[in-house]
A and B are shown apart, each in its own frame.
Chain A
Amino acid sequence: MLGAAQRELRTDGSLPVRVRSSGGGAVLSGPWLLRASVVMPRSHPLARHGPAVAARWYGEIHCGWLQAQGITSAAVYRGPAVDHWACFAGRVAGEVVVGERKIVGIAQAWRTHTVLMSSGTLIAPVPWTFLCRSLGRQPEVASSLAADTIDAQDCLRQPVDVRAWADDLLRLLRAGVAREME
């Protein structure tokens, strides 16, 4: 899945490609990635202060969620921003890291009437070689991506109950959106 500004990137056709409406870099979708999205009207209090402030709010919820699952060293990245063609090798404030390694990526699409906030959380090991091959990158880039990232299964040394985790995140996101309305 490519970021909105990556639509011209050439791929080798080995994987289906989708261009999302939000910014950021390329993501490899699959069972290793838990995605969550929130759509809110531009009139919502969270949309008053721009994407950087919204990303921090979104990241704080994800960070609290991961800590509650036992990843106690999860922390919200404070900056500076780092651009990269691969989402998980870049950084913006609000994304979630464990040490120096990224576990949650965030991207947004602000439209006239709505704001879309999206996240991807690495749940299990990612076959980065597929992403690199598809986008014509050198195989060693996959090793670099693996070193820059970490997944929940690796953090906890055991598989993750994705359904239960997703339910918990959904509950926290709903509560967070409602709290900002008060």
Chain B
Amino acid sequence: MTMQTRKAASVEVALGAASWEGVDTNAQALVDRWLVSEGTHVAAGDVLARVVLVKATLEVTAPAPGVVEQILVPAGENFSRSQALAQLRPD
């Protein structure tokens, strides 16, 4: 899981760099399903989404407690390395 400042009060949720290690540069992952919706309050470590990369299902977890502000990649859509999946407003 990685966190990058997007706005002063928000963090981006993305699939961590370790998950992409050894994966083709141009490969994409798929958001299989979101387990939360926008507005859901989550604790640090809560599983927010399940994604599929190189035939592996992986969990995307909350980097901090807060509220899921915006889902940026809906279920069923692909995403690239370093692309943010959601925006979280920390408590």
The interface of chain A, by Cβ under 8 A from chain B, is 3-5, 21-25, 48-56, 79-81, 87, 90, 92-93, 106-112
Knowing A22-B57, A108-B55, A112-B59 touch, does A52 contact B21 (C-beta < 8 A)?
Answer: yes
Partner of A108 from the list B24, B32, B56 (CB cut-off 8 Å) is B56
Selected contact of A23 from candidates B18, B21, B23, B52, CB within 8 Å:
B52
> Could you list 9 further interchain pairs (A-B, Cβ under 8 angstroms) beyond the known A5-B57, A23-B56, A110-B59?
A52-B20, A55-B54, A55-B55, A55-B56, A79-B24, A80-B27, A81-B27, A92-B54, A112-B47
B82 at the interface (CB under 8 A from A): no
- What are 25 A-B contacts defined by CB distance under 8 Å? A3-B55, A4-B52, A4-B57, A24-B55, A25-B55, A48-B18, A49-B18, A49-B21, A50-B18, A50-B20, A50-B21, A50-B22, A50-B23, A51-B53, A51-B55, A52-B23, A53-B21, A81-B54, A87-B55, A90-B55, A92-B55, A93-B54, A108-B55, A108-B56, A110-B19
Q: How near does chain A come to B56, taking the closest CB pair, in angstroms? A: 3
Chain A residues with CB under 8 Å of B20's CB are: 50, 52
A87 contacts which chain B residues (CB < 8 A)?
A: 55
A106 to B54, CA, bound (A): 9
Give the residue name and chain of the A residue nearest to B58 (CB).
A110
B59 A52 Cβ-Cβ under 8 A: no
Q: Is the CB of B22 within 8 A of A108?
A: no
